Amino acid sequence: MNLLGNIQIPTSKLDLFIRSVEIASYLPGRVRLRSRNLIGNANLEHEVRSQLLSFAEIDSVDTSTATGSILIKYVPERLRANAELAKVEQYIMSHVKGR
């Protein structure tokens, strides 16, 4: 039994990151996140891109320090083969803005 997972406490750096941004939109294979911290912050932009692109399952990451936008593109089946990323995608699906 994973007590931390049941009470929604972030259990990894990726999990913490996803919970710190607004999930603006989600379609399988395409997620747009927004972060006020990214606006005007080139160092954070570089770190976010590097961290996300370190996952072979993620095809591309487009960021904007002007808007705080992070666009992530991936092949759903390939991403879901990674248990950690599949868990993050499930979280994103259930927390997308407007749902």
Provide the mean pLDDT of the chain: 87
Beta carbons within 8 Å of 26's beta carbon, 6+ residues apart: 32, 92, 93, 96
pTM, 2 dp: 0.83
Confidence of residue 99 (pLDDT cuts 50, 70, 90): low
Residue 50 token pair: 């590097």
Give the start-to-end residue ranges of the domains of the chain.
12-95
pLDDT tens-place string over residues 41-78:
999 999 999 999 999 999 999 999 999 999 999 999 99
Would you state the pLDDT for residue 3? 42
Give one word for 69, left, alpha or beta, with left for phi > 0 and alpha for psi -120 to 50. beta
List the CATH code of the domain at 12-95. 3.30.70
